[in-house]
A and B are shown apart, each in its own frame.
Chain A
Amino acid sequence: MAVMLRSVMPRCLLMISLACCWLGSCQKETQVERANREGILLVGNSAEPKALDHQLVTGVVESKIITSLFEGLVAADSAQDDATPPGAAISWEHNDAMTEWIFHLQPEGKWSDGAPVTAQDFVFAYNRLLHPDFAGPYAEMLYFLENAEAFNKGKIADFSQVGVKAVDDFTLQLKLREPVPYLPSLTRHYTWFPVPRHVVLQYGKMTDRFTKWSVLPNLVGNGPFKLIKWRFHDFIEVQRNHNYWNSSKVALNGIRFYPIENPYTETRAFLSGQLHTTYQLPSDLIRTMKKNEPDLLRQEPYVGTTFIRINTTRPALSDPRVRQALSLTLDRDQICEHIMEGFFPAHSLTPKMGSYQPEPKLAFDPEKARALLAEAGFSNGQGFPVFSMLIARPSARASAEAIQAMWNKHLNIRVNLQNMDWGSYVSAQQSLNFDMASAGWIGDYLDPTTFLNMWTKGNGNNNTGWSDPQYEKLLRDAAMKSDPAERFALFREAEATLMDAQPILPISYQCRNYLLRPEVKGWHPLLLDNHPWEAIRLEP
């Protein structure tokens, strides 16, 4: 045996050395170094997009790609949330009531196939998204247009009654159902983007849900980039669109979006030089990155809130005093400091956006909580039912466990945690077949309505069983005001009403934790995280 080992060992060692030399010689420039040379940005994008027809999707993942392929009337600014640089429209004006808007389109605006972008393309797009036969999942984003909701719900059949009109090829008129002072920033949402009428109709009817117009090689857009490659669960690549009206200002030659679902894989890929930026960073890696690679870590406020949704139709939970007691025993500072790294303790539901700041209504006061619970008939937690809290995302587990412990410690009540797959989790809430659920909400645009409108009766995202006519009246009254100060005062009042009732218990304001390489320039913190791709450059 020993003889054999003596004869085999040297050969093995020689082979291992040769293999190491070969592997060593394979060491080449990283994917990022090559991409820097080629002017291509490598972006982690979390998941495979459902589609690239922006009238068929509702997600954030899709919006990242869609904003590289299409452009709305107003562009996004790379550094300021409230700036409204020209996009497909070069200028715009409105009446005093802010209910009628005229947008003048770029005379040089072209689709990526060279055809002009006209006001008719916008009218066609809004007609398509709102048409009942098309069944656009996010059509409600256009309900700001006069009669849009009635048309979408089939109550009127004539689209000419909807508040959108092409005055001429380059003039678009929008009539709104209420004053919308933030319309320019609203049109940055992809539901307001145009579609190329000539291409859509080439592959089918306007109301056909799926045609080949939005896949390779047919997709035509009016954005700074055009689609050149799409491999499912692999990557999507876009290339600079030379027909874009502002093409001379675009610094990148292309962008590659990688749908990497596993955040640890994404982080590894970033650290091994395969990505310029990640979509996310697992919370348990934040401290390590802060310590080892502080220059690569980005922690930026994001227009999102995490909360616990309560089923207010359940016994005990139907009592606002009980919900308030639950809220008063949440030590949000501790949760954010120790578990939700980078997140900020919530003071209300809506995070600060622009000049809107809700009244701080949330506090940590176990003494008061115990008194409220006793008042509701559950002194020292006696007789309080054992409820379940649904969790769908593994990342929510740690904070849910902390909350479970806080309630047990301060109120002497028990709550079970129940993990669920996403489908069951959503289904349980929609059918009010749950007690509590760990949840969150990301705003679509920078106005409090994106957080407040969902708690109205019958709204598909409410799922609490709670509604209040007074709350809804305040929202309606606010919607009729064009003066921002008056609007915001009414929204503050409405939000205070919501926070007194507490069908939801806000926990934290969200933060975007991600990694970004230093050679990526023109990438600034933005509340909606919509970085305009045309402003980004690579400076290795």
Chain B
Amino acid sequence: MLANLIGRFFQGILVLFVLFTVTFFLIKALPGGPFKSAEKAIPKHIREKIEAYYGLDQPVQVQYFRQLKNLLHGDPGLSLRLEGREVTEIISQAFPVSLRLGLAAMAIAICVGIPLGVIAAWKKNTLLDYSAMALAMIGICIPAFVIGPLLADQFGRRMNLLPAMGWDPTDPTSWVLPAVTLGLATAAYLSRLTRAGMLEILSQDYIRTAKAKGVGSFRMLVRHCLRGGLIPAVAFIGPAFAGIISGSVVIESVFAMPGLGMHFIKAIEVGDSPVILGIVMLYGTLIIIANFLTDLLGLWLNPRLRKS
């Protein structure tokens, strides 16, 4: 077990290194550059000075090793887009927003998706099942950039109940619409996975045995089915959580939220390599950790995995 954990740790380091290298060279392959994309062109003699200031005039391999060294020291350097601001400062402002949004969205997804999936499986081929799965399909099919503006328009503009944009850490009402928008699609996936997992468990022999022994419905559901039935959903939750944190660009745009996604997109637009690399490495680390935790949770839920 310990050897497995250590192995996973070194695998993670290797993945991060490859991720860094590939991202760095992809950025360098982008046309333009942070100081070549200004709306009003910066005169050449000035642009060359600015590029020299940031070391962008040096050979690519020198830039690569400098950037790698900076990251190993935990400091990706200065942003080229928000000139003079440290990447760590940008991430430390934006990450809590993305994290809080991700947690709220995931809570909604779990609270809605799992019960919906369980009910659908328990009442298989009934109106409840069809309704729950139809809802899930709608949630999967309608993208966030459609649901978000609809919710904002209805609850923000027409009813004036919740803010149509913005993010106030001290005002939870400002979290509701973005978290619901982001959480709904994940809830839809979760409900379908939960239903599939539960259906498989419900067809197992030990469930039939439990029924024959006269175990009550609720007890059977909670004690015998849920743990095994949730395995596919749990396997999905880890990467989905990392994805929710990193992939909320649309939500951030629709609700004008100061999260990491907006920094990421803007940095890519102008080739702001320190910010791109800082965020990519953060996302990479999160996904590796999330996958690792998911595996641990899967081991706890599934005794067969522990034995193997």
Contacts and interface: CB of A to CB of B under 8 A. Distances in A.
Do A and B bind?
A: yes
A274 B165 contact: yes
Given A132-B49, A262-B253, A268-B152, A58 B166 contact: no
Contacts of A56: 83-84
Contacts of B253: 261-262, 265
A196 B255 CA distance: 37
B106 interface: no
B31 A265 contact: no
A426 B47 CA distance: 15
Contact of A260 (B38, B82, B256): B256
A209 B52 CA distance: 12
Given A260-B256, A422-B269, A265 B165 contact: yes
B165 A58 contact: no
A216 B119 CA distance: 53
Contacts of A139: 43, 46
A232 B263 contact: yes
A199 interface: no
Contacts of A11: none
A395 interface: no
A233 B263 contact: yes
Interface in B149-179: 149, 152-153, 156-157, 159-167, 173
Contact of B78 (A1, A23, A210, A232): A210
Given A266-B256, A427-B37, A137 B32 contact: no
Given A50-B81, A231-B93, A262-B256, A430 B166 contact: no
A422 B37 contact: yes
A27 B41 contact: no
A258 interface: yes
Residue of A30, A56, A133, A210 with most partner-chain B CB within 10 A: A210
Contact of B90 (A30, A137, A232, A266): A232
Contacts of A136: 46
B38 A137 contact: yes
B161 A23 contact: yes
Nearest to B45: A153
A221 B163 CA distance: 33
Nearest to A444: B40
Contacts of B44: 460
A258 B256 CA distance: 9
A169 B186 CA distance: 65
Given A51-B84, A423-B37, A269 B258 contact: no
Nearest to B41: A460
Secondary structure call for the A interface: loop
A428 interface: yes
B237 to A, nearest CB: 27
B279 interface: no
Contacts, number: 170
B42 A137 contact: yes
A261 B53 CA distance: 29
B31 A428 contact: yes
Interface in A261-287: 261-262, 264-266, 268-269, 271-274
B165 A30 contact: no
Given A261-B253, A460-B41, A137 B269 contact: no
Nearest to B81: A50
Interface residues of A, number: 60
Contacts of A463: 41
A96 interface: no
A256 to B, nearest CB: 10
A268 B163 contact: no
A135 B46 contact: yes
B157 A268 contact: yes
B165 A260 contact: yes
Interface string A403-422: 00000000000000000011
Nearest to A210: B84
Given A48-B82, A427-B32, A261 B46 contact: no
A461 interface: yes
Given A135-B46, A140-B43, A274 B160 contact: no
A354 interface: no
Contacts of A260: 165, 256
Contacts of B269: 421-423
Given A1-B126, A260-B165, A460 B152 contact: no
B161 A26 contact: yes
A31 interface: yes
A51 B153 CA distance: 33
A359 interface: no
Interface in A284-302: none
A154 B269 CA distance: 32
Given A58-B39, A136-B46, A137-B38, A423 B157 contact: no
Interface in B250-308: 252-259, 262-263, 266, 269-271
Contacts of B254: 262, 265
A424 B31 contact: yes
Interface string B4-32: 00000000000000000000000000111
Contacts of B30: 423-424
B73 to A, nearest CB: 19
Contact of B41 (A133, A266, A461): A461
Nearest to B168: A234
A59 interface: yes
A258 B166 contact: yes
A428 B36 CA distance: 11
Contacts of B270: 422-423
Contact of A423 (B31, B43, B47, B256): B31
B160 A268 contact: no
A365 B161 CA distance: 55
Contact of A135 (B40, B49, B123, B271): B49
Contacts of A133: 49
Given A50-B83, A234-B167, A461-B41, A265 B256 contact: yes
B99 interface: no
Given A30-B160, A135-B46, A268-B156, A423 B84 contact: no
Interface string B226-239: 00000000000000
Given A48-B82, A233-B258, A272 B46 contact: no
Contacts of B36: 423, 426-427, 430
A430 B36 CA distance: 9
A467 to B, nearest CB: 16
A266 B269 CA distance: 21
B37 A271 contact: no
Given A31-B163, A423-B36, A460-B41, A26 B126 contact: no
B50 interface: yes
Interface string A441-469: 00000000000000000001101000000
19 contacts: A26-B161, A27-B161, A51-B82, A136-B46, A209-B50, A233-B263, A234-B258, A260-B165, A261-B256, A261-B262, A262-B254, A264-B149, A265-B254, A266-B256, A421-B269, A422-B269, A423-B32, A423-B33, A426-B37
Given A137-B35, A232-B94, 7 more contacts: A259-B256, A421-B269, A423-B30, A423-B271, A424-B31, A427-B36, A460-B43
